[in-house]
Amino acid sequence: MTQTARQIEAGREIRFDYDEYAQILDAMAPRIVDFEAAAGRDRFVVLRHDVEFDLDRAVEMARIDAAKGVASSFFVQVASDAYNPAGPAGRAALTEIRALGHWVGLHLHRMGLGPEDRAAYEAEIAAQAGMLAQALGEPVTRMSYHRPAPWQLEERSDHVCGLLNAYGPSFFEFSKAPAEIVYSSDSQRDWRYGHPLDLVDRPKVQLLMHPDEWTAAPVTMAGNFAALTDDASARLQRTFEAECKHYAKRHT
C-alpha cells in the first residue's frame, strides 16, 4: 500500500498527524487502562508506545496522552544506535514522561539470541532492564519485544523474567484472526490489523502507536524519515557545541 501525505482508506483520511492521533484518543480514552488493570477485564483498551528512533517525539506523544487524561506505556530501547536513554537528554525525556503520569518499560532487543540458549537470553533481558532502570532511576517492571521472533510470541505468559510482557495472553492474542483481543499497530504507517477508529466497539484492544510515525502536520513517509534525520543531526550538533570548543557551528 503506497503511503501518501493524505492517504484515503475506506473513506477515512489517514494523515498520521497529531490531530488524527487526538481523534483516536477521544474515541478510545474512556476505556484505556494500564496493562496491570486490564488482566481479567471483559472490556479494555491498553495503549503502548514503542520508541524506535526519537525520544523527543516520545515526549510529545506523552504530552498529548496526558492532555487527554490518558496514562500509557512507553517502551524504550537501551540497545539502539538511534538514541541514548542514559545520556543527559535521554534521562530528561524519561523524567518528563514519568512526570506526566506514564509508565516507562524496556523495548527489548534480543541481540540475535534464540531459544536454544535460554540462559543467555534471560541474562540479556536482565542486563538491558538494569541499564534502563539506572537511567530511569527506578526499577523497570514491564517490557515489549523489538521485532519479536515467533518463538517469543509463542511464549504465552503475562510475565517473562519478572517483567510484565506486553505480548502476554491477557493483552495479546497470538493469532492471524484474533477472536477476542484485537491488536492494532501503526507499524510502517500501515494499519494492516485495522484502524483504531474501526475497533471502538471491540471489547478488548491493544493499541501500539510508534511516536516516530506521527508528526504535527501530515508528511509523506519519505518526509517523515527526512525530518527524523534532520532532528538527529540537530541533536548531534548541539552535542558538538556543548562538548567541543573547536567545533565550528554549522550555519544553515
Span 148-162, pLDDT tens digits:
999 999 999 999 999
Does residue 27 lie within any of the structural domains?
no
pLDDT digits (tens, 9 = 90+) for 170-188: 999 999 889 999 999 999 9
Does residue 234 lie within any of the structural domains?
no
Question: Between residues 204 and 11, which one has the greater pLDDT?
Answer: 204
Q: Is the pLDDT of residue 3 over 70?
A: no
What percentage of residues in the chain have a pLDDT greater than 90? 87
Q: Is the pLDDT of residue 121 over 70?
A: yes
Mean pLDDT of 74-95: 97
User: pTM here?
Assistant: 0.93
* Range(s) of the domain holding residue 45: 32-214
Does residue 1 lie within any of the structural domains?
no
Question: Between residues 80 and 13, which one has the greater pLDDT?
Answer: 80
Does residue 251 lie within any of the structural domains?
no
Mean pLDDT of 80-84: 95
Mean pLDDT of 16-38: 97
- Would you state the pLDDT for residue 246? 87
pLDDT digits (tens, 9 = 90+) for 46-58: 999 999 999 999 9
Banded model confidence at residue 1, pLDDT cuts 50, 70, 90: very low
Does residue 3 lie within any of the structural domains?
no
Banded model confidence at residue 2, pLDDT cuts 50, 70, 90: very low
What is the secondary structure of the chain as a DSSP string? ----TTEEETTEEE--BHHHHHHHHHHHGGGB--HHHHTT-SSEEEEEEEESS-HHHHHHHHHHHHHTT---EEEE-SS-SS--TTSHHHHHHHHHHHHTT-EEEEEE--TT--GGGHHHHHHHHHHHHHHHHHHHTS---EEEESS--HHHHT---SEETTEEETTSTTT---SSS-SSEEEEE-GGG--TT--GGG-TT-SEEEEE--GGG-BSS---HHHHHHHHHHHHHHHHHHHHHHH-TT------
Does residue 10 lie within any of the structural domains?
no
| CATH code at position 65 | 3.20.20.370
Does residue 238 lie within any of the structural domains?
no
Does residue 51 lie within any of the structural domains?
yes
Instruction: Tell me which residue has cell 510470541.
Output: 153
Q: Across the chain, what does the average pLDDT equal?
A: 93
The total number of structural domains in the chain stands at 1
